[in-house]
Amino acid sequence: MRIYQVLSILGSLTMFGFVVDFVRRGLLKEKYSVLWLACSVAILILSVQKGLLDLLAGYLGIAYAPSLLFLVAFLFILLIMLHFSVVISILHEKNKTLTQELTLLQEAIKEAGLLSANKKRKK
């Protein structure tokens, strides 16, 4: 076993461990852990099965097989980031709607005489 294999096996196992632990402790939603877990499993498989890595690299015309590991990791990172951009956009929209509702509600409360004009608002 080559040293790079040992390193990438350790790396992917560490990543897998961290992600599982984060989910277990409630720091990361299951929904957002899937791509990370898939990434670490893919890297792990390709690191353990050197034959598979060489075979795939051969198919793709990659002379130096370990660089396929980088490619796989890179593609996963792109995918994860795109996923984040989508999630952020959804959150942005929800956050906006929520803020607008709050704004309108605050006015309605004031209108109903339950809140004096300048009291509650900061600034």
Partner 1 sequence: MKEPKVLIIVPAFNEEETLTHVINDITANLPGTDIVVVNDGSSDATGAVAESLGVTALHHPYNLGIGATMQTGYKYASRNGYDIAVQVDGDGQHMANQVSALLIPIAKGEADIVVGSRFLGLGEYSPSLARGAGIRFFSKLVSAIIGEHITDTTSGFRASGKRTIKFFSGHYPDDYPEVEALVILHKLGFKIAEVPVKMSERVGGKSSITPTRSVYYMVKVLLAILIDMIKKHN
Q: Given the structure tokens 């499993």, which residue do they identify?
A: 41
Spell out, one character per residue from 44 to 83, where the chain touches partner 1: x when CB under 8 A holds, - when not.
Answer: ----------------------------------------
Joined tokens for residue 108:
């309605």
Is-contact 38 76, C-beta < 8 A? yes
Asked if 106 is part of the footprint of partner 1 (rule: CB under 8 A), the reply reads yes
Cα–Cα dist 115/106, whole Å: 8
Closer residue to partner 1 (CB): 2 or 92: 92
Asked if 118 is part of the footprint of partner 1 (rule: CB under 8 A), the reply reads yes
**CA distance to 35, 44, 82, per residue, from 77 (Å):** 9, 16, 9
Asked if 102 is part of the footprint of partner 1 (rule: CB under 8 A), the reply reads yes
Joined tokens for residue 39:
């990434």
Asked if 103 is part of the footprint of partner 1 (rule: CB under 8 A), the reply reads yes
Q: Could you list the residues that contact partner 1 (CB under 8 A)?
A: 96, 99-100, 102-104, 106-107, 117-118, 121-123
